Amino acid sequence: MVVSNLIVCDVRGERNADVRIEDGIITEIGSGLSDSEVFDANGAYFIPLLVDTNIRLQDSTLNSKNIKSISKQALQGGVGHIVLNADSTPAIDNEVVLEFAQNGLRDIEGAKVDLMLNSLKEDATLSNIAILLKSGAVAPYMSTIAKNDVAIKIAEYVQMYGVTLFCKAEDNSLIKSGVMLDGDVSSKLGLAGIPDLSEVLHVSRMIEIARHFKIKILFKSIASPRSIYLINQAKKDGVDVRCEVSIHHLICSDALCENFNTTAKINPPLACASDVLLLQEALKNNQIDTLTTLHQPSSPVNKEVAFYDAAYGCEALENALPLYYTKLVKSGMISMSDLVKLTVRNPSSCINKEAGNIEVGQSANALVFNPHAKVKVRNRQSLYNQEELSGEILMSFQGKKVNRL
């Protein structure tokens, strides 16, 4: 088939073209292409399917039903490849749970799903990282609640296998009683706060471990501008550290927690308004490497309770591309090509995959996106419920599979 009148956009920029796809392969990119089956995209974008490496299942419960559900939701939002967080229930910290999760990947109908492994067992001892990597986990995950001796052992495994360490920077003694950012809003609401030092202290610590062992670290869902500064200073010194930030932290502040709004209770907590502006500046200055929807779905019974008792998380996966486009591209913060770098090429490189280019001869893992359409968010577990977003996914291609949405 031929998809005509497109804006083909990848990490190299935009160009007007038609695209021919045969047996799941892009066979021609040009103008005036003809075929027995032609879809007129009328100026829509043709971009690679997005990648998100920070996704949780419903109530963080690991089972086949939740895996299949999240796979479908991802593709509806334009995300064609997700990596599930390892700190689920049960946690992916042994071969039995990994095999159980892999069985749940069979016959999924939406996005491709990969699994990370939890480097720490429940008792904070080391899991069998080598076996889990050999068995198919794509990356090790570590919370910095790990003590130094354990963190160093994890770094040695990461060095040995040449993978990226997915690292959540947090201080157990500072996060265990807090429920949102420590600041003016938490004081006003009378809620225990989590200082941003909880993250910053451990970013600094893990940078030095990365420097010493010459390993790659992706800091997950960073929320503090100071952390971003430290990561970028380390990059200048040749340390291979990278920074992931969620869409929520770029556009929402802790003011959303007013009136004890539990939808805004996410982990890490939303930053104050002044820090949100600094995070946006970091994005514009290419100091952020990857973006995530930080999809953390929770059942209403776990969210519609008192703020202190509510589960962390909000939902965004089903509206991923319209959300990114409306808040970041249409607003002028970044270009569409920049968005592809942040949501396709860079997260793919963290799991040793290459993606982000649209070329003749490659598999057609891409989508057609109409930026002029309007869609209303109808999800009470979304921070953007009832907002009107720009953009609609018209169809997606996963090799030979064509999804008309």
Q: What would the pLDDT profile of 27-60 be if each residue is shown by its tens digit? A: 999 999 999 999 999 999 999 999 999 999 999 9
pLDDT band at 174 (very low <50, low <70, confident <90, very high): confident
Residues 40 and 88 in one domain: no
Residues 295 and 370 in one domain: no
d(CA 162, CA 158): 6
- Smallest CA-to-CA distance from 10 within 19, 22, 1 is with 19
Residues 25 and 76 in one domain: no
238 burial type by CB count under 10 A (0-12 exposed, 13-18 middle, 19+ buried): exposed
* Within a domain: 217: yes
* Within a domain: 356: no
Provide the domain count of the chain: 2
* Within a domain: 354: no
Residues 39 and 54 in one domain: no
Residues 93 and 206 in one domain: yes
Residue 270 clears pLDDT 80, i.e. is over it: yes
Beta-bridge partner residues of 3: 19, 39
Residue 176 clears pLDDT 90, i.e. is over it: no
User: Alpha carbon of 402 to those of 49, 109, 172, 290, 354: distances in Å?
Assistant: 13, 12, 46, 27, 22
Cβ atoms 308, 291 nearer than 8 A: no
Residues 22 and 153 in one domain: no
Q: Which two tokens stand for residue 361?
A: 């001869």
Residues 168 and 26 in one domain: no
CATH of the domain at 366: 2.30.40.10
* Within a domain: 212: yes
Place of tokens 């396709």: 344
The 3-state DSSP class for residue 365 equals strand
CATH of the domain at 278: 3.20.20.140
* Within a domain: 357: no
* Within a domain: 321: yes
Q: Give the pLDDT confidence score for residue 404 in this predicted structure.
A: 87
Task: Supply the range of the domain harboring residue 216.
Answer: 50-349
Q: Which two tokens stand for residue 155?
A: 């770094």
The 3-state DSSP class for residue 192 equals coil
Q: Which two tokens stand for residue 80?
A: 């064609």
Residues 153 and 71 in one domain: yes
Residues 298 and 229 in one domain: yes
d(CA 252, CA 277): 10
* Within a domain: 131: yes
The DSSP bridge pattern shows strands 401-404 and 388-398 to be antiparallel
Angle of CA points 138, 139, 141, to nearest 5°: 145
Dihedral pair phi/psi, residue 156, rounded to 5° = -65, -40
User: Alpha carbon of 248 to those of 31, 192, 208: distances in Å?
Assistant: 39, 21, 28
Query: In this prediction, what percent of the chain has a pLDDT beyond 70?
Result: 100
- Strands laid side by side in the 25-30 sheet: 25-30, 13-22, 2-10, 38-48, 365-376, 388-398, 401-404
Residues 102 and 194 in one domain: yes
The DSSP bridge pattern shows strands 25-30 and 13-22 to be antiparallel
Residues 214 and 328 in one domain: yes
- Smallest CA-to-CA distance from 217 within 198, 202, 196, 201 is with 202
Beta-bridge partner residues of 8: 15, 46
Give per-residue pLDDT as tens, 307-358: 999 999 999 999 999 999 999 999 999 999 999 999 999 999 999 999 999 9
Residues 74 and 130 in one domain: yes
* Within a domain: 64: yes
Place of tokens 């949780």: 56
| Mean per-residue pLDDT of the chain | 97
